[in-house]
Amino acid sequence: MLTIEFTDNTVKVIVQSTLETMPLNFTFALSQQQTFELRCDYGSRRLDKTELAALINLCEQNYYAQQRDHLPYLTQLGRQLYQWLDGKEGWLRKALDEADEQTIYLDLIQTSEAQGLNPETERVALGLAHLPWELLDDGSGFLIERQNLSVLPVRSVQQRQTQVIGVQNRPLRLLFMATSPEDPRVPPLGFEREEANILQATKDQPLALIVEESGSVAELANLVKSYPEDYFDIFHLTGHGIIYTKKDYGSLLSTGVTLADNTPCFITEHEVGNMQLTTVTDLAKAFRGRWPRVTFLSGCHTGQVPNKGTVPSMAQALVKAGAGIVLGWARPVFDRTGIVAAQALYQALATGATVEEAVKAAQQEMIDQECTDWHLLRMYRDTRPIAELVTALRTRNRERLKFTAPEQEFLDENNQVKVASRFEFVGRRRPLQRCLKALQETSDQIGVFIAGMGGLGKSTLAARLCTRVQMQRSNFARVVVIGPLDEIGLLTKLSNKYERFADVPALLNEPKVSLKGRLQNFFEAIEKKHNQPLLLVLDDFEQNIPVKDGSLRMTAEAYEILGAICAALEENAAESRLIVTCRYLNEDTLPPHRLHLESLATMSSSDIDKICFPLDKEVRQQLRTQKIIHIADGNPRFLKWLLEVIQQPGIAADELLNRLEATEHKFRENILAQTLLDALEPEEQKFLARLSVFNLPVTVEIINAISPSVTSLQKQLSRICHHSPHPAS
């Protein structure tokens, strides 16, 4: 183990093999004459302060300011750092040889403030942690890349003796917050994919993911207060970090708020989605000392020591403010790099790895994935012992994950309503935020009514809302009613969901009690007696609205049932919530309600770019892509279907696009469907016709009875269903 510690008046470097009990100590001593001296068991030597300052200046000018990332320069810089630390005596070489094939742990400890130093000496003392130790190179390659040598630079900046929570015999708990304000100065952020990749990376070792959806620090503070102390293991904040200057960002500050130049900040959101600058002090107030053991500031500049190495980084300042371990990036970092690092980090932590092992795994994965900015990840910490966060999955008596799984691409349990998977879900941040606010326990509203034309993602948004609510309140049950609404069907669905409670079906079917009264008794029983509140989803509610006369009035039965549900929830002040999705919205035709009304608009250009980004580069560069985007007119389902169809063999893409462009939007899906149908083989068309008689899910055995062979079935289903505009049909 190799450790370098920077304290108020000394800097220690400790090299310790895992096979030895006694560490080898290197000490950088700062004398009263403000000179530096390196001491170790091999001897001691005086360090040239001018040489140290020159090395810091070199890194500042060529690594931080000009951001030279080509390999020869990084190798040269890493070699200079290694030679300086090693010295002519070769102490570092000797220490590494003694620790061959062992883990070498490089821990850089410094204080954020050196007391009583002249400016030149102070800058050198603080700048030692500004040096990119991740690039240490002994001439045969970066130490981090060596297969038989595992090196991890850790900047330890605070001495603490208080106890911390130890390893927990349960799944990992991760608090995730993405900030993406509506401001042209802030590049769009692909945070949905980052979240999805974290879940994918931990699918075999599931973690409890709690998402703070607003991007607001004020709402973050409310969420943290809603959970017990030490509940979260990790806080992951993804977005954009900046180094504040009044010249560039002064207009973004609230009235009466002042910041000094070179203050590290994170760009977050106001409650309405506008840009807000958040400082370390703001984050500290949000957590009120209840820090998770690890914080990952996944944003540019969060691990950088600004102003030529004289101002503590945001990560360093968070440790000073009470956080235990903080990760950040030393400069602007590619979105892909941040996602790769997070994916590897949480996969390792979820399996019971130590924090240091997980960070090393993240570094190695960035290198393996050829991320050229792999060396920018920084780790700051205090001196408290924080190793593993949780145990591995098969540990005896390990607590089971209590959180409901994500929507699994279907809104309902019968897999009838297909929705965008978590990898496909993009956009809808503002509607999601507004709807989640209406679904909160403290809300005055009893649910949401989501309206919009077909293909805009109403069912997908409903599924995401259910997932979010059930992640934060795992005792919620979900019931989905699709299409026509009738009293018997609704009560049967509710009875079946709560059939394990003998009193619930009886309450729902009690004679001589009105529907509203039965629902009131039902909500009171499931919430107060059984602690199982309900998320009731009425999907495709437009099937209850005849449009022959153009009035958009619902049927009498649907009106009565919806009115009874709304009244029961309101009069009970129930915790349960209602979600309705419908193509049409005319508030004058709704029964009395306290529903938040959300009308979905077409998607923004930035969200459309997110949908198109995963496409093959050549496809995205074709001229017709812009034409497709214009034809889709912000409808995500139609856009994705169209992008898939034009790449199929036998499709006259240009002719199809011309026809669609000249047609009203409401008829475009019919043209696209007919084009796809015409491209099928005759036997495939017959097969599709046979399947069309089914309106409910059927077994594979039934399908086999009408299909010529299993091989043909698989071929036809993969071709037809994959490209259907209505996969649930």
pLDDT digits (tens, 9 = 90+) for 673-718: 555 565 567 777 777 777 777 766 667 677 777 665 544 444 444 4
Same domain, 188 and 320: yes
- Residue 646: CB atoms within 10 A of its CB come to 21
Nearest alpha-carbon partner for 392 in 435, 347, 356: 347
Nearest alpha-carbon partner for 639 in 408, 457, 464: 457
Same domain, 242 and 353: yes
Specify if 408 maps to a domain.
no
Identity at 58, one-letter amino acid code: L
Q: Is the pTM of this model over 0.95?
A: no
The phi and psi torsions of 287 (rounded to 5 degrees) equal -90, -20
Same domain, 358 and 498: no
Mean residue pLDDT across the chain: 78
The alpha carbons of the chain give a radius of gyration, in whole angstroms, of: 30
Q: Could you tell me which residues are beta bridge partners of residue 103?
A: 150
Residue 252 has pLDDT above 60, yes or no: yes
Same domain, 352 and 460: no
Nearest alpha-carbon partner for 569 in 520, 624, 499: 520
- pLDDT, tens digit (0-9, with 9 covering 90-100), for 160-206: 888 888 999 999 999 999 888 877 777 776 676 777 778 778 888 88
- Domain boundary among the residues 158, 193, 211 is at 158
Nearest alpha-carbon partner for 179 in 289, 283, 72, 94: 283
Same domain, 185 and 331: yes
Specify if 456 maps to a domain.
yes
Is residue 291 within 8 A of residue 322, CB to CB? The reply is yes
Q: Which residue has the higher pLDDT, 321 or 14?
A: 321
Average the pLDDT over 646-671 and give the result: 56
Quick one: three-class SS letters along 468-498? HHHHHCCCCEEEEEECCCCHHHHHHHHHHHC
Specify if 728 maps to a domain.
no
Same domain, 561 and 633: no
Instruction: Classify strands 240-244 and 234-238 as parallel, antiparallel or unpaired.
Output: unpaired
Specify if 616 maps to a domain.
yes
Is residue 157 within 8 A of residue 379, CB to CB? The reply is no
Q: Where are the beta strands (DSSP E) in 504-624?
A: 534-539, 577-582, 595-599
Alpha helices in 473-604 (DSSP H): 487-497, 503-508, 515-524, 556-572
Specify if 416 maps to a domain.
no
Same domain, 456 and 543: yes
DSSP 8-state secondary structure symbol assigned to residue 542: G
Specify if 693 maps to a domain.
yes
The CA distance from 34 to 36, in Å, is 7
Residue 4 has pLDDT above 50, yes or no: yes
The CA distance from 108 to 11, in Å, is 9
Is residue 153 within 8 A of residue 379, CB to CB? The reply is yes
pLDDT for 180 equals: 82
Q: Give residue 708's domain range.
A: 605-722
Specify if 397 maps to a domain.
no
pLDDT for 532 equals: 93
pLDDT for 423 equals: 46
List C-alpha distances in Å: 225 to 46, 99, 218, 286, 291: 51, 46, 11, 9, 12
Same domain, 153 and 257: no
Q: Where are the beta strands (DSSP E) in 375-497?
A: 377-382, 447-451, 477-482
Q: How far is CA 181 from the centre of its chain?
A: 15
Same domain, 119 and 207: no
pLDDT for 430 equals: 79
Same domain, 704 and 557: no
- Domain boundary among the residues 327, 362, 382 is at 382
pLDDT for 721 equals: 45
Specify if 642 maps to a domain.
yes
The CA distance from 137 to 150, in Å, is 13
pLDDT for 49 equals: 84
Residue 389 has pLDDT above 90, yes or no: yes
Residue in the structure block whose two tokens are 């309450």: 507
- pLDDT, tens digit (0-9, with 9 covering 90-100), for 349-377: 999 999 999 999 999 999 999 999 999 99
- pLDDT, tens digit (0-9, with 9 covering 90-100), for 328-345: 999 999 888 998 999 999
Same domain, 246 and 178: yes
- Domain boundary among the residues 599, 615, 646 is at 599
Residue 640 has pLDDT above 60, yes or no: yes
What is the domain count for the chain? 4
CATH number reported for the structural domain that contains residue 566 in this entry? 3.40.50.300
- Percent pLDDT > 90 in the chain is 33
- pLDDT, tens digit (0-9, with 9 covering 90-100), for 420-463: 555 455 557 778 888 888 898 888 999 999 988 776 778 888 88
CATH number reported for the structural domain that contains residue 234 in this entry? 3.40.50.1460
Q: Which residue has the higher pLDDT, 595 or 130?
A: 595
Same domain, 298 and 181: yes
